[in-house]
Structure 1
Amino acid sequence: MHHTEQNDPGQDTGTQADRSADTGSTTQVTGRHRVPAPRRLRRTRALLSSRPVRIGAVAAVACCLGTVVFVESRAATTPAGPAPADLLAERAASADRQPASRATERAPAPTPTATPSSTPAATPTARPTTARTKVTRASRKPSRPTPVAGLTQTQMDNAHTIVQVGVKMDIPRRGLVVAIATAMQESNLYNLASGALPESLDHPNQGVGYDHDSVGLFQQRPSSGWGTVADLMRPAYAAEQFYAALLEIPGWQQMSVTAAAQSVQISAFPDAYAQHEQRASTVVEALV
């Protein structure tokens, strides 16, 4: 009687389970049998199989981190500068605090060696300037003298003419005083025409007198040979005629003002000239 051996169901199930478990794993071939690979070897292979993807990801991450690090390093090394307006203000303030940096733009400071050379160079330019200033002021000075001794401007102008003529003729100061005192007495230092000579009214005059044919500052008479009416009505000519007659009197310089004036004028009131001597001296002093 033949017995058919039946396998143990439990054993067959276990064998199939081991086979199904080994089917999904990696095995090594040893001889004719396949032996499952160790667990560490399987992990290594898995890592190697996924390495290209992980290397690319790591490289990308490293690149990004490098960029961030580079940017952060530049931000750390580059100081945050002030605003443009603040920077300009800071530069201007720095320039003010450093005047030496602008020394080349200014004239160099005088030194003991530079002073002798610079001073003579400036002096010639300053002296002509001063001279020109004085000339300009002299030209602007009024030609009409300031009245003194209670005279009006017209009287002072006539006195000025008398003194100028005497200075040109080299008349001493005392002769100038005699001439001014005489004109004060004769015409009160006005160039007078004569009512007796209508011709005299045709010439510039400052009033009219009525002492016969006497005209001008010294009331000289054309009929006595002093000159023509037109000539005697000119103050400069009349003064010249008076000085010429005074110089012909011997010793006039030792005479009193009254005596010298009377010797020329032959007036009916010889003592009248003395009262004008003080004022005449003041006028001459102001004009000479």
Structure 2
Amino acid sequence: MRTTRGGITLAEESPRRGRSRWVARGVIVALVAVLALGAWVGGRQLLGDFVGPRCQATAADTTVDFDPEQMSNAATITALALRRGLPARAATIALATAIQESKLRNIRYGDRDSVGLFQQRPSQGWGTVEQILDPEYSTNKFYDALVKVDGWQDASITEVAQEVQRSAYPEAYADHEMEGRVLASTLAGHTERSLGCRLDDPQGEADVDMIGRLLENEYRLDASAGERAGTLTVEVPNDQIGWSVAQWSVAKAVDTGITGVTYGDRTWTRSSDSSAYEWQRADPPAPDGQVVLHLN
């Protein structure tokens, strides 16, 4: 159909064609909205990686990056290996396994009835859901199974982890071996002043009871009131354990509210900027054989 306006003949748009054009416009608007939302969500994640709370560990010229929740769980896994008298390789295997299974998060879901750091299944005799969701319990159960594997000290991580986990994708454990080694080296104290966490200010006072309970459960060590107000001290038997406890304390600061850690002539100070990735010169240094935890 045609119409004339000002002496110019124009074709009139059919109703069907008009509707199609509006539908097309609506689809374009919806697509733009979805892309914008995706960009916003992705941007927030990227921004969080750069300016949000993060932890870094460095060993053998390799740096790994995790969020504070993940690093706190890594600290538990490593400390319990030390408590049991196991070498750092045991922690490496456990850490690589937990990274693959849960990304070092204590999750309440998984394949079938799998839960927790290692995605252990109540139906397979690992314990109750409540027990498995306790990181200390699930880690000890993992080590109980690990040490029963013949040749676990020398076999590949893929072979050992598969013997423990019975995974459908055993080759995936090897993908995280280097991350496991770096975390085990720093958190076991073999690499000094090499772990730091960028954290927001704590919400309220440090939880002294939690600090004492965790040190007892994960190291069989005690914390006592320090000589300076607002501090706790932890007596350590040697430098390796000293650096393990010191860097464990940094990793646990997100849970406990610790604001600083001093060992030897080095100190870590809680901060939300990149300075918290580094250990600075301590003034004064910690007394010999003591890790000093600052609470305010």
Normalised by the length of structure 2, the TM-score is 0.43
* Structure with the bigger percentage of helix: 1
- Structure number having the greater strand percentage: 2
What TM-score results when the alignment is normalised by the length of structure 1?
0.44
Q: Relative contact order: is structure 1 or structure 2 higher (C-alpha 8 Å, sep ≥ 6)? A: 2
Q: Which has the larger radius of gyration?
A: 1
